[in-house]
Amino acid sequence: MKILYVTARWDPYDPDSGAGVNYNLYASLKTWADDLEVIGPFADDLNFIEKGVDRVTNLLFNKRLIKFYPSYIKKSNQIVNDKIAEYQPDVVISKASIPLVNVKMTMPFIYICDSSVNWIKNEWPHFSKFGFRLMEKWEAKVIQKANHIVTFSQANADVLQSFYNKPENEITVHPIPSSLPPDSSGFEVKQFLPNQPIRLLLVGKRYHGKGVDIAIKTTQLLNENGIQAQLRVVGQDGTNSEHIQFMGLYSKKDPQQLEEYMDQYRWAHFLIFPSRFDAAGIVASEAAGFGVPSITNDIGGLSTTVKDGVSGVVLKKNSPAEAYFHTIQFFINNPTEYENLCQSTYEHYQSTLNWDVLGNLIKKIITQTVDLQ
């Protein structure tokens, strides 16, 4: 079977690119595909007019007009069209829509869609209303071409059906898997020890978007109420204090840094993840690989990634720090409940939140889709 894997912004050879999803998808395809070609990523070189428009929009509205400009679509689509004509694949698979907007495909197409434009535009308004309308139009063309769509959240699947009119039987929902090497995972029961702090971990690159302020306040509430607590923030630099430590960014390409990154999960009692919006929240799956439950809220795709009561606790959308505090306090007072949650978290990782499982599912979808043609 000849498979053409199309990328856009993210490099499938780089584990640090795009949270490693494209990298792991490529690695998974390589394990069984006997003929696999990769095309992309494509350089985003704006022309003179587009650079001017982008600059003015940023100055006037503090946001970009659009994520990808027409020159990018024209360039990437032509490259893909030429590659299809040359390679004659049996199936095309992509996690990006833009390189395929005007591409003619007579072969099956599998689309990995973590977040559709219509779903994120209100929660992640980094582009103009005009830009979002254009991007919806472009993505709709790609969604209709897709024989099957794999998405990482039920919330996005609902939008694919209601807004883009994609039939339910052409959509598969699967939680986003951990991006960490599978042989690195492992589970040891952690306990709450007397006179030892509760260890909280937050992983994310955006301070406000990932709710670092809520995690800090939660840590403060714990300490103010006689519960020793330490918070580590990975992915950002900041000012350290008595109970808060900013760990900076780690590279998964560097073996030593990768090991240090995984040590943060091994250290933690909980992943605290009060994100203000996440399409999937891959760090919760990474934490699950070490039996570390997540405490998060029901926004975006987080209630799909974190299975409430199984791999963590999903609070109400936009829950305040007090809700995180009370949740942690409950488990401190009920250590057996905590140990059971850690065990079920790791079991959920083994059964669901890894690339072996999703890779086999994608292989099955590709094989069945091609066989039906």
Instruction: Give CA angle at 152 (142, 304), nearest 5°.
Output: 145
CATH of 182-351, picked from 3.10.105.10, 3.40.1190.20, 3.40.50.2000, 3.40.718.10, is: 3.40.50.2000
Band (373; pLDDT cuts 50, 70, 90): low
List pLDDT tens digits, range 182-225. Answer: 888 788 888 898 889 999 999 999 999 999 999 999 999 999 99
How far, rounded to the nearest angstrom, does the alpha carbon of residue 19 sit from its chain's CA centroid?
A: 7
Per-residue confidence (pLDDT) for residue 352, from 0 to 100: 97
CA gap 39, 76 in Å, rounded = 10
Question: Is the dihedral angle over the CA atoms 302, 283, 42, 106 positive or is it negative?
Answer: negative
Average pLDDT score over residue span 52-67: 86
List pLDDT tens digits, range 107-128. Answer: 999 999 999 999 988 787 788 8
Beta strands at 198-203 and 171-173: parallel, antiparallel or unpaired: unpaired
- Which residues lie below 8 Å from residue 240, measured CB to CB, with a gap of 6+? 246
Please report, as a single letter, which amino acid is at residue 369.
T
The answer to whether residues 93 and 67 touch, using CB atoms and an 8 Å cutoff, is no
Answer yes or no: same fold for 2-177+354-372 and 182-351.
yes
pTM for the model:
0.94
Where do the domains of the chain lie? Answer: 2-177+354-372, 182-351
The C-alpha R_g of the chain, in whole angstroms, comes to 22
User: Looking at residue 200, what DSSP letter applies?
Assistant: E
Question: Would you say domain 2-177+354-372 falls under CATH 3.40.50.2000?
Answer: yes
Band (129; pLDDT cuts 50, 70, 90): confident
